[in-house]
Amino acid sequence: MPGARRRFRYRFTFFQRQFLSHLIVSLLILSLLSAGFIYFMEKQFYKQKTEELSSIARAIVRLVAKEEEDPAVSLQTYRGLLSERKVSFILLDKYGELVYRDPRMPKALSGRPFLDRLRGRVLGTKEITSFTIVRNTDQPLVIYYKSIKPKSQKGDLQLFVISPLQGIQATLVTLDQALIYIIAFVFLLAVAVSWLISRNMSRSIRSLRLTTRQLASGIYSARSPVNRSDELGELARDFNSMADQLEQSAEKLKQFETRRRHFITDVTHELRTPLTSIRGIIEGLKNGFVHKPEEQLKYYGIIEKETFRLIRLINELLDMEKIESGLITLHKKTSPLIELFEFVSETLDVLIEEKRLHLVIECQPELRVYGDYDRLTQIVINLVKNSIQFTDYGTIRLTGIETEDATMITVADTGRGMSTEELALIWERFYKADPSRSKTNSETGLGLSIVKQLVEAHDGSIEVNSTAGLGSTFTVTLPKRAPSVEPEGGNAAT
């Protein structure tokens, strides 16, 4: 049974919670204001009547205090002045006995119970200087009393000035009715305003929920409209900013996954081709199908070439993994830059001659570069090989420039250049500017990505400027180190 109760428990929506909370607050405010207003008006009525009776009491006190004999005649004369104002009064002595009673006093106030209440007030109070309010069933009364010391009496007299609050009940009823109409109108207005505010807030939250569900279902282009300037509007803007980043990440992940699949396909092909070739040649040599020594040397050369090809591919993969894992160690030292350029030229001389290109070196003999010699050689070789791959004719220029705090290495070519879209992607892993060429040249799409990370490992930077059809220029900037600080051949691991 308790489970059934929990099962059918009503759950308020955000709109209902907001709407009800606004209404409750409105009702509380209206109730407090109405009660406070009625209380204030009632107090004002009594205050005004009390002040009126106080002035009358002072006049009677002065009149009685002057009389040396019985003041009844004077009081009767003064009573005629108060008849129209419906004010009556009673005089009691110090023992509570009646001295004078207004003959025009209402019968309800002339009875013994009412006089007993006044006697109790006189006998039970030492000093009477205040007033009290007596409420009857018919209408409320205000009674003001004060002590008098007349010359004609040995003891003090107690004066009670009595007046009904004429019309106060009718006024209060009329006021209550007016307040009811006002409260009803304000309440309906509060209902309308609360409904509009709650609906507006609920729409904004519902929009965020819908956008969240769309993002969860893979629609990364979904955005929540921002039509508010409060915290919900800021939340929508932050949410849209998060959605933008998520969309960019999803797009990058999609591109990375596409390139990864292409990379795996290319690597599989590149590994299978030389391994198949090596296996076939080894089986032919093992089974004696190749007898002539010159043919055997030829096939040995093919095996060596394919082995180097496999080693280069594996080394690039290992380098990429080391760089991304932060396991690469740099042995930095200061070396002549011209020697590095000449070594690169000798290493790639065969490739340059095959395409009939010209490699021009522009570097002062005294110019030196600070860094890991092997890794710097790898950087320059990859950049020059990239230029060779995309240059069919013309010149590749290697330039070394020294500034006050850096050494700049520039590799410029007259190749086909790159578009703006290609420039934004060349540093990405597995990216190939020309997939058809990369397959024939056994390119993995890791070369430039490795170059960028190696340059950054040297605390340097690399930039590229390219124009389609006119060529590309890669500029590597490496920080210098003072010769006095760094010993020749010293090691530094980063």
Q: How would DSSP label each residue in 428-439?
A: STT--S-HHHHH
pTM over 0.95: no
Q: Would you tell me which CATH number, out of the four given (3.30.565.10, 3.40.50.150, 3.40.190.10, 3.40.50.300), belongs to the domain 329-479?
A: 3.30.565.10
Instruction: Tell me the CA end-to-end span of the chain in Å, nearest whole number.
Output: 69
Range(s) within the chain of domains with CATH label 3.30.565.10: 329-479
461 backbone φψ class: left, alpha, beta (φ>0; ψ -120 to 50): beta
CATH homologous superfamily, domain 14-174: PAS domain (3.30.450.20)
- 456-464 LR contacts (CB < 8 Å, sep 24+): 457/323, 457/328, 457/330, 457/375, 457/494, 458/330, 458/332, 458/371, 458/372, 458/375, 458/376, 460/371, 460/406, 464/418, 464/423, 464/426
Divide the 494 residues of the chain into consecutive groups of 10 and give the mean pLDDT of each group.
52 72 81 83 78 78 65 63 71 73 66 67 52 52 72 67 69 78 83 80 78 81 76 79 85 79 71 79 79 79 80 74 71 90 89 88 91 90 88 89 90 86 72 52 66 88 87 91 47 38
Instruction: For CA atoms 333, 337, 343, 347, give the dihedral sign.
Output: positive
Range(s) within the chain of domains with CATH label 3.30.450.20: 14-174
Tokens of residue 127, six digits: 């000093």
Q: How would DSSP label each residue in 460-483?
A: -EEEEEEETTTEEEEEEEEE---T
Q: In what order do the strands lie in the sheet with 140-148?
A: 98-101, 88-93, 157-164, 140-148, 131-135
Structural contact between residues 284 and 299, judged by C-beta atoms closer than 8 angstroms: yes
| Cα 331 to Cα 17, 321, 347, distances in angstroms | 67, 19, 22
How many other CB atoms sit within 10 Å of the CB of residue 388? 20
What's the pLDDT at 130?
A: 46
**Rounded distance, CA 233 to CA 226, Å?**
6
What's the pLDDT at 399?
A: 92
Nearest to 322 by CA among 476, 431, 454, 445: 454
